[in-house]
Amino acid sequence: MEARVPPAGGNGPAPTTAVAAVARRADGVSPRCPRESCKGTGPTSSAPSCGRQPERTGPGTPHHREGATLSPAPPHDAYSRGNPTLRFLEEFGWGDLVSLGRLTPLTLPWLVGGRLDALQRRLARDSLALLRHRRGQRVLDACCGRGYAAAALAGSGCTAVGLDVLPAQISQARQRFGQGARLGFAVADVRAPPARVEGIDLGDASFDRIHCLEAAFHFGPPGRSAFLMEGFRLLRPGGRLVLVDITWRGEDPHRIDRVDPARLVRDTWQFDEFEPRTRYPRLARRAGFTVHKVLDWSNTVTRPWGQAAALLGRIAATPLGRAALRARRPGLGDLTLEEWRHLADVARAHHAVASSVSYTALVLDKPV
């Protein structure tokens, strides 16, 4: 099937990744542990059956760290129709993209019009621009979700590969954008990818660029370290990884318990904690990267989204507000009263969390 390039819209063609997490290899087989005391591999975990996670002390040097795992599990429920928050957002534009968006003076009219997809495209365009990719390069869209970013990369003349741990997301990506000589999608764990999947080469130094937009917060701390090390392995010398993620403002990510005590935000999107913003560069350097730049996009992403969540929490909590939303988006008519109340609670919880997080873009280069 020929690949379909996503249409221009809003502020022009701008790709994104949907949110995905990684907890086991796509083929269900975990890597074999080199320790003699470990017998074989586990059937479902991405770690060896001994329960120890492969780690690197330096680029390309694996060993095991006691007690580390690659949990949590993939967020299947977060990105399914069973999540009323996702259903609400899809009614207001989430489709090819499953991420936040970037609010600027140019995109403000789209927010007023309820077109969240235009804000998402702007964010994705800005994220992809950090890659400085060129025609003919091979680019990995890690946690590609529904495929928009990978398809846009292919449309710009790159050979694009989209990987996601959720089979349903890959199925949607193929349905929406197809596949072709310059575009391929596959189910794989980007923290522990196989050397090859569905005919796609994932060997050492096989990519010029790697892009990961708003997904790594799902991975858990060991998973984020593993992804950075795998990204370093996959990149050719001189390659670049752009990692855009929601990050914790302070040093102690466990303080999220204070702003999300009922776990409404964490359970909605299935994650445990955000990486502290100050720790990400250290993890990148430990993996072997040079940190080219670290950008703070909080003022145009998490801050306005937090304010919008507060407004939604007030509107969805009243009968008049719910009626107004249903009138504007008839597809919301199937939400039950219980789901509406839950949506209002979740929105207020997002507002509380937004004041404690940042939206960070890291540009990481692999030395030549």
What are the chain's domains? 34-69 (no CATH), 84-301+353-365 (3.40.50.150)
Of 192 and 68, more confident: 192
Q: How confident is residue 103, by pLDDT bands cut at 50, 70 and 90?
A: confident
Of 112 and 183, more confident: 183
Whether 72 has a pLDDT exceeding 90, the answer reads no
Of 239 and 45, more confident: 239
Lowest model confidence (mean pLDDT) among 49-53, 287-291, 320-324, 340-344:
49-53
Q: How confident is residue 224, by pLDDT bands cut at 50, 70 and 90?
A: very high
The contacts found for 106-114 with CB under 8 angstroms, 24 or more apart, are: 106/11, 107/10, 107/11, 110/10, 111/304, 111/308, 114/328, 114/329
Give the pLDDT confidence of 190-206 residue by residue, as tens digits. 999 999 999 999 999 99
| 210-220: average pLDDT | 97
Percent of the chain with pLDDT over 90: 71
Q: What is the pLDDT of residue 86?
A: 93
* Cβ neighbours of residue 263 closer than 8 Å, sequence gap 6 or more: none
CA distance 167 to 188: 9
Q: What is the pLDDT of residue 41?
A: 34
Percent of the chain with pLDDT over 70: 78
Q: What is the pLDDT of residue 75?
A: 82
At residue 61, what is the residue type?
T
Cβ-based neighbour number of residue 362 at 10 Å = 25
Give the pLDDT confidence of 330-349 residue by residue, as tens digits. 999 999 999 999 999 999 99
CA distance 254 to 248: 10
CA distance 218 to 254: 15
Whether 50 has a pLDDT exceeding 50, the answer reads no
Q: What is the pLDDT of residue 82?
A: 86
CA nearest neighbour of 70 among 202, 225, 182: 225
Whether 259 has a pLDDT exceeding 60, the answer reads yes
Q: What is the pLDDT of residue 77?
A: 83
Q: What is the pLDDT of residue 64?
A: 32
Q: What is the pLDDT of residue 48?
A: 33
* Cβ neighbours of residue 171 closer than 8 Å, sequence gap 6 or more: none
Lowest model confidence (mean pLDDT) among 40-54, 186-200, 244-258, 265-279:
40-54
| 114-138: average pLDDT | 93
Cβ-based neighbour number of residue 280 at 10 Å = 22
| 64-93: average pLDDT | 75
- Token couple for 178: 């197809």
CA distance 246 to 275: 8
Strand 138-142 to 200-201 pairing: unpaired
Query: For the chain, what is the radius of gyration of the CA atoms?
Result: 20
Whether 309 has a pLDDT exceeding 80, the answer reads yes
Lowest model confidence (mean pLDDT) among 34-43, 112-121, 278-287:
34-43
Cα angle 66-190-103, degrees, rounded to a multiple of 5 = 115
Q: Could you tell me if 210 and 121 are in contact, meaning their C-beta atoms sit under 8 angstroms apart? A: no
Of 12 and 132, more confident: 132
Mean pLDDT of the chain: 83
In Å, what is the CA distance from 6 to each residue of 13, 70, 116, 280?
Answer: 7, 33, 16, 32
pTM, rounded to two decimals: 0.81
